Structure 1
Amino acid sequence: MKSVNFLLAFVLLALASSLASAYDPSPLQDFCVAVNDTNTAIFVNGKICKDPTLATPDDFTFSGLNIPTDTNNFLRFNSNLVTVDQFPGLNTLGVAIARVDYAPGGVNPPHIHPRGTELLLVVQGTIFAGFVDANNTLFSKILYPGDLIVFPLAMNHFQVNIGKTDGLAFASFNSQNPGVITLANTLFGTNPPIDPYALARALQLDVNVVKELQAKFRSSN
């Protein structure tokens, strides 16, 4: 009987170990529709690797984050996100970086990164930043040069330059392609548009206000 129990325990342990190690990799794209025809298929979760014997130092360096982005827009904010698409050496390494510029009053509107946690370092300015968790609790704080804030994976977050001078921050991500979904765009700037009556009911707005917002966001997109 003891030998039977030992064998059963061994089988269960082996099964648990195999399940623990056989998880799916985190996706690096918005979706992946299955196809049977390889002629219409694409490479998933990254890019095809270069022959390592052909790699050069240029593959592992990137220049340009010293250049301010143009904040002359409605939000008075802009960013330069460097992912594997701009920096091939990041492929398979699970990191990305962005320069974030804010004019006085500039707003990085509520958004999420579906595939990456963000660590934001304030270099210049006075930045009010925060995120909202799954319980709708807001975690926010005023940040000064040298301060850090982390936005957990897929949490809705934002930043506002509440100072009187330009703001600058650098954001790092634990994904080579963290993605970005700006919430206002996903509500009002979709193509085709979401039923305005559904949005009006969900947001408790007049339907004409929703239609006006949809017109604004579709034209800006």
Structure 2
Amino acid sequence: MLNKKAVAFVLTSSNKTGNENFQNSITEKFKEYEIYLVTSQELETLLQRLDLEKYNTVIVQPITIIEGIEYNKIKETALIYQGQFNYFRIGKPLLDNEDDILRLVEVLKDTYLNKKPDQGVIWVGHGSRKSSGETFKLLSKVYDNLLEREILITLNDLEYLNVFMDKINSWKVKELIIAPFFIMLGNHYKKEVISDDVTSLRTFLLSKGFMVNISYQPLISQSGIIDMYKEKIQQEE
């Protein structure tokens, strides 16, 4: 009997454009699998189809950073179909343990290695107010210790930006680069972080006299991040 195998990579954003490099790289790595890139809204339809087409092995890999609300929504949907396949697994989020955190910083540390002496970098991620938010707290500490003139904050921190100004001012820089610590560039980054809205991070930094440069490179575009997701799948095999 033919062992039909599939991996469903599940995005939390409804926008799948700009992920061709990710899908091509994954497809090249796992030639024995059919690779599907779907949104969380499309996952149930895909699993129904794979069941009807008699797939034996199915791995669902959420494309999330932490085990937060979005990850758990994907997991809840996927578990409905757990008994429909001979082998079924749900992959772990990108950051599942401390080793993952150290690996991620190693992947990202050279992104702005060549920044000028008068430039600093503010990475902005989604974060979480739940227990998984501890992952971001630990990650922020690692950033502070290992990366020069770079910090990681979350959307939750945007309410308390003045808390970070002492550190940013200590860099004595004129220009700040805002970098997305998001898998994809969704509405949170575009509206709350880099928009002209009076409450955005960009507007706040401009009001403090900094020049602001915006990065539009999501984490999923980094080859090292793609490799980490490849390893998540291999762990599940």
Q: What's the TM-score, normalizing by structure 2?
A: 0.26
**Which of the pair has more CA radius of gyration?**
1
Q: What's the TM-score, normalizing by structure 1?
A: 0.27
The answer to which structure has the higher strand fraction is: 1
The answer to which structure has the higher helix fraction is: 2
